[in-house]
Amino acid sequence: MIEFNKTPYTGNEEKYVLEAMKAGKLSGDGKFTKLCHNWFVKELACHRALLTPSCTHALEMAAILIDTQPGDEIIMPSYTFVSTANAFLLRGAKIIFVDIRPDTMNINENLIEAAITNKTKAIVPVHYAGVACEMDTILALAKKHNLFVIEDAAQGVRSFYKGKPLGTLGDIGAFSFHDTKNYTSGGEGGLLVINNSKFTERAEIIREKGTNRSNFIRGSVDKYTWVDIGSSFLPSDLQAAYLWGQLESIDEINQARLSSWKAYYDAFKGLKNANMVELPHIPSECEHNAHMFYLKLTDLTTRNMFIDYLKSCGIAAVFHYVPLHSSPAGNQASVFSGKDKFTTHESERLVRLPLYYGFEELDQKKVIKATLDFFS
């Protein structure tokens, strides 16, 4: 069976995980967590980068940081993972979904302004497949209406918009190091990226269960105490050690993924020209990280037939998000602003092909051949 995904593993992780185990301190903010924090602050040129147990947790922290209150409205696409919405729903907000663009599957920046009311608190662009949303327009709208921008860059590590890393354009960014992402911290993990310095100190407090422990460790207070709401948003140093092994090989992982992505793209250009499929669109201002390779078929029935066909060839291909507004929880706590012209239709046509670090060329050739066979 050709799997859809395999946990990225370079070989460096083992020695760092063992080193962390032997250090005698595995709780949060150990040696490897600090190494990762410093690496990201330098790489992203952000105010603070804080590892979290998952991207879900990073988004939850972001919702607390912007002081989301019951009744606040948060704008996002419906074509996203549940955590994008849950983080704000947990604080009592109302979710306002905006339709996506069919070319990138990202929120349609031109429809956002119509969804803004005097209750709107933030816009949450989700950079689907590591391809940036149209951030200039989104940031200008946020400025005009005095809104926060929280980037859900779960899939966006090592992707850029006009040369700037995703996750660093809004007030706050959130990354995922889940097993399925380009870089993992051993199965689960995330990062909160603070770009707006007004959130820096409070982010540390919220992450430390609402205490000022980070200040205490730095020596700026002589005892630590409970000062705010918060939770346990720190990962174990074991997770950071695994991630550190990946960060050392970040270019190698990125290049390998990009070359698999390009091989798919080149192989399927003919299908695209024959109008049998649509291929991912990368706007000229975006540099992507080959997080995902998807095809869009004509409709749901053909897409499902294709998935079944690949399965019969021993290949795992999968669809992606079921739009949140059509799920039972999304239905209750959200409103779709305007018409769902593309969200449902485009999501039903999309299928993701196997792509991971260590994807053998021979296996990729089998996927390409099976795909071309299906369409012939």
Ligand X SMILES: Cc1ncc(COP(=O)(O)O)c(C=O)c1O
Q: Which of 152/208 has CB closer to ligand X?
A: 152
- Look at residue 335 and give its three-state secondary structure: strand
Tell the smallest beta-carbon distance from residue 120 to ligand X (Å). Answer: 20
Q: Which of 268/321 has CB closer to ligand X?
A: 321
Q: Output the DSSP codes for 197-264.
A: GGGHHHHHHHHBTTB-HHHHHHTSSSS--B-S---B----HHHHHHHHHHHTTHHHHHHHHHHHHHHH
Q: Which of 167/245 has CB closer to ligand X?
A: 167
Tell the smallest beta-carbon distance from residue 290 to ligand X (Å). Answer: 16
Q: Both tokens of residue 358?
A: 């260590």
Per DSSP, 200 falls in state: H
| Contact pattern for ligand X over residues 34 through 63, marking x by CB under 6 A | --------------------xxx-------
Tell the smallest beta-carbon distance from residue 54 to ligand X (Å). Answer: 3
Count of positions on this chain that bind ligand X (CB under 6 A): 14
AA letter at 324: L
Tell the smallest beta-carbon distance from residue 27 to ligand X (Å). Answer: 20
Q: Which of 236/371 has CB closer to ligand X?
A: 236
Q: Which of 59/315 has CB closer to ligand X?
A: 59
Q: Which of 33, 68, 78, 80 binds ligand X (CB under 6 A)?
A: 80
Q: Which range binds ligand X by CB under 6 A, 147-155, 212-220, 257-265, 352-360?
A: 147-155
Q: Cβ distance 74 to 81 under 8 Å?
A: no
For the chain, the straight-line distance linking the first and the last C-alpha, in angstroms and rounded, comes to 23
- Map the footprint of ligand X across residues 318-347, applying CB under 6 A: none
Integer Cα distance of 10 and 243 in angstroms: 10
Q: Which of 227/316 has CB closer to ligand X?
A: 316
Q: Which of 154/370 has CB closer to ligand X?
A: 154
Q: Which of 84, 106, 343, 347 binds ligand X (CB under 6 A)?
A: 84
Is position 126 an interface residue for ligand X (rule: CB under 6 A)?
yes
Tell the smallest beta-carbon distance from residue 180 to ligand X (Å). Answer: 6
Q: Which residues does 298 contact at the CB level (< 8 Å), separation at least 6?
A: 276, 349
Integer Cα distance of 262 and 267 in angstroms: 8
- Map the footprint of ligand X across residues 180-239, applying CB under 6 A: 190
Integer Cα distance of 348 and 366 in angstroms: 25
Q: Both tokens of residue 144?
A: 């005009």
Q: Which of 178/213 has CB closer to ligand X?
A: 178
Q: Cβ distance 11 to 158 under 8 Å?
A: no
Integer Cα distance of 130 and 337 in angstroms: 25
Tell the smallest beta-carbon distance from residue 124 to ligand X (Å). Answer: 9
Q: Which range binds ligand X by CB under 6 A, 75-83, 242-250, 280-288, 362-370?
A: 75-83
Other Cβ atoms less than 10 A from the Cβ of 225: the count is: 10
Q: Both tokens of residue 81?
A: 């993972």
Q: Cβ distance 303 to 351 under 8 Å?
A: yes
Q: Which range binds ligand X by CB under 6 A, 79-87, 273-281, 294-302, 366-374?
A: 79-87
Report the run of H or E that residue 172 belongs to, with start and end.
strand 172-176
Q: Cβ distance 21 to 166 under 8 Å?
A: no
Whole-angstrom CA distances from 43 to 48, 213, 238, 254 are 11, 26, 22, 15
Q: Which of 47/320 has CB closer to ligand X?
A: 320
Is position 154 an interface residue for ligand X (rule: CB under 6 A)?
yes
By CB under 6 A, name the binding residues for ligand X. 54-56, 80-81, 83-84, 126, 152, 154-155, 176, 178, 190
